[in-house]
C-alpha cells in the first residue's frame, strides 16, 4: 500500500522559534497533500490543502503567515510553524492523496508529528 | 460546503457485541464515503469505503451502509474484539475531487 512518512515524529521547541515538518509520499506521487491538526481525543481539523506547484488553500481561521506550507514536488510538502507559541502545541498530521481506482482520490496519512512548544 | 456529523462521540460495547456508528452529510454531490480507524498515537487508517452507486459493502466483520436519499451512512462492526478499540472517523468526498470532510470521530471501547 501507499506509504506516507512524516519527520520529525516529535519535536520540542522554545517559544518564538520556528519548526519545519516534512511530509513525504514514499511510493507514489501525491497530487494533493493535506495538513491537519489534532487535539487530544478530538477530530482531525483540516488546516490547509496544498497542490504541487501552487499556493496552499487555508481553512478559515488558520493563519497562513504563521503556518507556512510549501509543496515543491509531488512527493514532498512542508509545514513550517513560525514564531511558535505554547498554544501551537499539538499533533500535526499530513496526508497525501492521489487518484486511485476509477478516479477516487485515496488519502493516506502520515504518522503525525507531536509538537511541544515550551 | 459539506458538513459531516457523526454520532455517537463515545461508544462502549461488550466484547462480542455489535457496534454501530452513524454519519450524516449535507452535500448531495458527495459520492465517496471512507471510514478511518485511528488507534491511540497512530495515524488514521482506511478500513472500508463505499461509493454512492452501492447501498452496502462488507469486509469480514465490518460493513458500511449508505442511504443516499436520507444522506446518511453507517459503520457496523460485528463480533467486536478489544483490538477494535480506537477512534473511528467517517468522511465524505466526491469521486475525482480531492476535498475530504471528516466527521468529529467516535471513540469506541470494547470491554473484554
| Closest A-chain CA to B44 | A109
CA B6 to chain centre: 8
Q: DSSP for A27-39, please give it.
A: SS--SEEEEEEE-
**Most confident residue range from A31-35, A48-52, A53-57, B18-22:** B18-22
pLDDT in tens, A65-80: 999 999 888 899 999 9
DSSP calls for B53-103:
T-SEEEETTEEEEEETTTTEEEEEE-S--GGG-EEEEEEEE-TT---EEE-
pLDDT at A98: 80
> What single DSSP character describes residue A59?
P
* Average pLDDT rounded to a whole number, residues A86-107: 83
Q: What is the pLDDT of residues B56-109, one digit of tens each?
A: 999 999 999 999 999 999 999 999 999 999 999 999 987 666 678 889 899 999
Q: How high does pLDDT run on average in chain A?
A: 89
Distance in angstroms (rounded) separating the CA atoms of residues B64 and B20: 9
Residue A102 has a pLDDT of: 58
| pLDDT attached to residue A101 | 59
Q: Does residue B16 carry a pLDDT above 70? A: yes
> A41 at the B interface (CB within 8 A)?
yes
> Which residues in chain B have their CB less than 8 angstroms from residue A49's CB?
98-99
Per-residue model confidence (pLDDT) at position B80: 98
| Interface contact A101, partner B, CB < 8 A | no
> Is the model's pLDDT at A1 over the cut of 70?
no
Q: Say how many residues make up chain B.
A: 112
Stretch B5-18: mean pLDDT: 96
Interface contact A44-B34, CB threshold 8 A:
no
Q: Nearest-CA neighbor of A51 among A106, A97, A100?
A: A97
| Contact between A105 and B93 using a beta-carbon 8 Å cutoff | yes
Amino acid at each position: 500500500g501507499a506509504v506516507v512518512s512524516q519527520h520529525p515524529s516529535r519535536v520540542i521547541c522554545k517559544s518564538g522559534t520556528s519548526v519545519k515538518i516534512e511530509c513525504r509520499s514514499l511510493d507514489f506521487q501525491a497530487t494533493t497533500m493535506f495538513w491537519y491538526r489534532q487535539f487530544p481525543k478530538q477530530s482531525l481539523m483540516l488546516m490547509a490543502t496544498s497542490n504541487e506547484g501552487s499556493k496552499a488553500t487555508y481553512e478559515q481561521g488558520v493563519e497562513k503567515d504563521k503556518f507556512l506550507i510549501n509543496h515543491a514536488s509531488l512527493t514532498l510538502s512542508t509545514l513550517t510553524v513560525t514564531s511558535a507559541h505554547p498554544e501551537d502545541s499539538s499533533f500535526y498530521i499530513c496526508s497525501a492523496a492521489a487518484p486511485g481506482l476509477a478516479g477516487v482520490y485515496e488519502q493516506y496519512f502520515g504518522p503525525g508529528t507531536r509538537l511541544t512548544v515550551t | 460546503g459539506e458538513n459531516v456529523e457523526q454520532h455517537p462521540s463515545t461508544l462502549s460495547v461488550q466484547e462480542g457485541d455489535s457496534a454501530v456508528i452513524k454519519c450524516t452529510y449535507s452535500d448531495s454531490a458527495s459520492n465517496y464515503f471512507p471510514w478511518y480507524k485511528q488507534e491511540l498515537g497512530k495515524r488514521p487508517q482506511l478500513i472500508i469505503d463505499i461509493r454512492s452507486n452501492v447501498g452496502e459493502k462488507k469486509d469480514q466483520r465490518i460493513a458500511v451502509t449508505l442511504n443516499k436519499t436520507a444522506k446518511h451512512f453507517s459503520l457496523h462492526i460485528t463480533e467486536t474484539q478489544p483490538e477494535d478499540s480506537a477512534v473511528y472517523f467517517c468522511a465524505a468526498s466526491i469521486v475525482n475531487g480531492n476535498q475530504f470532510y471528516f466527521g468529529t470521530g467516535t471513540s469506541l471501547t470494547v470491554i473484554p
